[in-house]
Chain A
Amino acid sequence: MLLLFLLLAVAPLGLEAYLLGELTRVMIYGMAACAVGFAIRHGGLVSFGHAAFFGMGAYCVLMARNAGYQDALLVWPLALLAVAVLALVIGLLSLRTGGVAFIMITLGFAQMVYFIISGSQSLGAADGLPLFGRDTLAGLSLDAIHGFHYLVLVALGLVLFVMVCLSRSPAGLALRGIAHDERRMKALGYAPKRLQLAAFVFSAVVTGFAGVLAANFYQFVGPAYLHWIVSGELLVMVALGGIASLSGGLFGALILVLFEAIFSEYTTYWRIFLGPAVILSVLYLHKGVHPAVERLLGGRDD
């Protein structure tokens, strides 16, 4: 884990802008994937609707821009607040179900958000809109990829730190218990739904943050952010990286982007190779790639 962070930290010194951008992208999607994995690991919630939160974060950046606001210190917290409210509503309704029904209902809500926003003319409708430059950070420009890369790195580190703290807290421990055996946890005095709702909103806010960063990275916002394929790819990253560790999603994102980079040279159907990779990861590495890598390196991680 530390090794990866070190690599990400020194990368801007040696890489050309395009490759560096790919790494920034890995971190952004990795952050969202870690969030999706967090809700599975802590609460047993498999969400197929996180595209709604990813997209919501991105569209908030666009809406703020339309209203004339461009500074991260103002825009980003408001964006996360909006995502939290959306997640609270979707979570409250979805948590009335469980298991497969939960997967389907989160997908359903995400599709609703997709159609509402992609039908809105002022938000670029089906085409989306360009941002013309990134948000500023307390007046500082983030338009150069190097500075933006470091900002994303710090954000990712912060998010993972918060996740580690949460997972070690009593609430985090209880949520892991709920993922294993809900009935058992009730018999110990826990109210699963309340805790799960909190975990769901947290996971959504982190995903929304990744969406905010993605909008700034691409300097473009469109319905593709909200598409269910995003939800699916985040789950694929989780499956690749595993949920044995909190940062599994980051490794999943790395693998996915590498796959795309390598195989899309040869074929537009590069995703064909993804299926077997997921199957191999789940079957042979048992808990995903990350623990296997850590084992190879002899390291330890939470």
Chain B
Amino acid sequence: MTEAPLVVRDLSKSFGGLNVTRSVSLDLKPGEIHALIGPNGAGKSTLINLIAGELRPDSGAIRLNGVDVTGLHSEQRVRSGLARSFQVSSVLKDFTVLENALLAVVGRRQPALNWWRSTLSDTQGVEEAMAALEKVGLARRANAKVATLSYGERRHLELAMALALKPKVLLLDEPMAGVGTEEGHELTELVSNLRTDCAILLVEHDMDVVFALADRVSVLVEGRMIATGAPAEVREMESVQHAYFGTEDVW
């Protein structure tokens, strides 16, 4: 049997005296949506940054499709099939929607970067970028400047760019943060459909969303992974209710 797309083993990270990630282990199975929940400041974003390669762990290992990537830079991990979205939407605002998507398409093809031919004349690249935009319903806005998009549309674009990288493992850090209910539903639907393309690690606060999407749930509290399992199982665990929710009626 081949190894899971993403394997995290005994990952630790501290900022000065603050142990933000404490010996965290995690597997992402093929085609699963794995939700990562935990109170604010639990270290969820830090864990995402560690897996994406933006932060160096103090100890532990990260394997992508059976290959140890612990020592690789973030851009090298992208080329090994890892993509992420950012919690604070960070699409490039002075560019058009299509240009943003193209940057992702071209980024995947590195390092064979063309210095001469116009990006827009690369029909295959444009096609791929448009396909990614199509998937998130932004194709008709392709030539709009990102600065003119609504916040929800930017979150969609953020997803499209991650998709354009054709990842095998996708890290989504609160992709629905700050959007209205309506758009939240749209994004939920969208993420659900991505399941067939890649394995997803999803940081999400909204429990309704977690239950609608997740195949498994892991709970992070003060840097420690205190539980992993099917959503219904995890919900029943006393330790989870105690440490994370304090009371039972949050659900």
Which residues of A are interface residues toward B (Cβ below 8 A)?
165-166, 168-174, 176-177, 180-181, 183-191, 194-195, 198
A–B Cβ pairs within 8 angstroms, 5 of them: A165-B116, A170-B102, A170-B122, A188-B161, A198-B115
Q: Quick one: which of B37-79 are within 8 Å of A by CB?
A: 52, 54, 73-75, 78-79
Cβ contact within 8 Å between B92 and A186 = no
Q: In the complex, what residues of A have CB within 8 A of residue B120's CB?
A: 168
Question: Smallest Cβ distance from B78 to chain A, in angstroms?
Answer: 4
Q: Which residues of B contact A (CB under 8 A)?
A: 52, 54, 73-75, 78-79, 83-84, 86, 90-95, 99, 102-104, 106-108, 110-111, 113-120, 122, 125, 161, 165
Contacts of B103 in A (CB 8 A): 173-174, 177, 185, 188
Q: Report the Cα distance A295→B116, complex, angstroms.
A: 28
Is A174's CB under 8 angstroms from B84's CB? no
Residues on the A chain within 8 Å of B54, using CB: 183, 186-187
Specify which chain B residues have a CB less than 8 angstroms from the CB of A190 in the assembled complex: 75, 107, 110
Query: When chains A and B are docked, how far (Å) is the Cα of A35 from the Cα of B90?
Result: 28
Contact between A189 and B75, CB atoms less than 8 A apart: yes
Q: Kindly provide the distance from the CB of B169 to the nearest chain A CB, expressed in whole angstroms.
A: 13
Q: When A174-B113, A187-B52, A190-B75 are in contact, do A180 and B84 touch as well, CB less than 8 Å? A: no
Residue of B nearest to A195 (CB): B113
Contacts beyond the supplied A188-B108, A189-B75: 13 A-B pairs with Cβ under 8 Å? A169-B115, A170-B122, A171-B114, A183-B54, A183-B90, A185-B103, A187-B52, A187-B83, A187-B84, A188-B78, A189-B108, A189-B165, A191-B111
How far, in whole Å, are A171 and B106 apart by their CA atoms in the complex?
Answer: 9
Chain B hits for A187, CB < 8 A: 52, 54, 74-75, 78, 83-84, 86
Q: Point out the residues of chain B lying under 8 angstroms from A186, CB to CB.
A: 54, 73-75, 78
Query: A166 — which chain B residues lie within 8 A by C-beta?
Result: 115-116
What residues on B are CB-neighbors of A185 within 8 Å? 103, 107
Q: Are A177 and B95 in contact (CB under 8 A)?
A: yes
| Bound: A245/B111 CA distance, A | 27
**B165 contact set on A, CB distance < 8 A:** 188-189
Residues A180 and B92 in contact, CB atoms below 8 Å apart: yes
Which of A174, A176, A184, A194 is the one whose CB lies under 8 Å from B106? Answer: A174
Is the Cβ of A188 less than 8 Å from the Cβ of B119? no
Residue pair A189, B107 in contact (C-beta under 8 Å): yes
Q: How far is the CA of A177 from the CA of B103 in the complex (A)?
A: 8
Residues of A within 8 A of B102 (CB): 170, 173
The minimal Cβ–Cβ distance linking A224 to chain B, given in whole angstroms, is 34
Contact in complex: B118, A169 (CB < 8 Å):
yes
A181 x B90 contact (CB < 8 A): yes
Check if A189 sits within 8 Å of B92, measured CB to CB: no
For the complex formed, measure the closest distance between the CB of B175 and the CB atoms of chain A, giving whole angstroms: 14
Contacts of B94 in A (CB 8 A): 176, 180
- List of A residues within 8 angstroms of B73 by Cβ: 186, 191
Among the listed A169, A172, A184, A194, which residue makes an inter-chain contact with B86, where contact means beta carbons less than 8 Å apart?
A184
In the assembled complex, the CB of B126 is this many whole angstroms from the nearest CB of chain A, namely 11
Cβ–Cβ contact A168 & B92, under 8 A: no
Given A183-B54, A189-B107, A189-B165, A173–B74 Cβ distance below 8 Å?
Answer: no
Do the beta carbons of B92 and A181 come within 8 Å of each other?
yes
| Residue ID in chain A nearest B74 by CB atoms | A186
Bound CA–CA A195/B74 (angstroms): 16
Partner of B110, one of A173, A177, A181, A191: A191
Complex partner residue of B75 from A169, A181, A191, A198, CB under 8 angstroms: A191
What A residues does B110 contact at CB under 8 A? 189-191
Residue of B86, B90, B93, B115 with most partner-chain A CB within 10 A: B115
Contact pick for A168, options B108, B113, B119, CB 8 Å: B119
Docked CA distance A186–B54 (Å) = 9
Closest 6 CB pairs of A and B: A189-B107, A188-B107, A189-B78, A168-B118, A170-B106, A171-B115
Query: Which residues of the partner chain A approach B93 to less than 8 Å between Cβ atoms?
Result: 180
A181–B146 alpha-carbon span in the complex (Å): 14
A261 to B119, CA, bound (A): 42
Cβ distance A3 to chain B, nearest Cβ, rounded Å: 24
A183, A186, A187, A198: most-surrounded residue (chain B CB, <10 A): A187
User: Closest A-chain residue to B99, C-beta based?
Assistant: A173
Q: Would A169 and B114 be within 8 Å (CB), given that A186-B74, A189-B108 are in contact?
A: yes
> Known: A165-B118, A166-B116. Is A174-B90 also a contact (CB below 8 A)?
no
Task: Known contacts A168-B120, A183-B54; decide if A188 and B104 are in contact (CB<8 Å).
Answer: yes
B95–A169 CB distance below 8 A = no
Query: Given the complex of chains A and B, what is the CA–CA distance between A166 and B115 in angstroms?
Result: 6
**Contact B52–A177 (Cβ < 8 Å):** no
The answer for the CA separation of A194 and B103 in the assembled complex, in Å, is 16
User: Do residues A170 and B119 form an inter-chain contact, with CB atoms below 8 A?
Assistant: yes
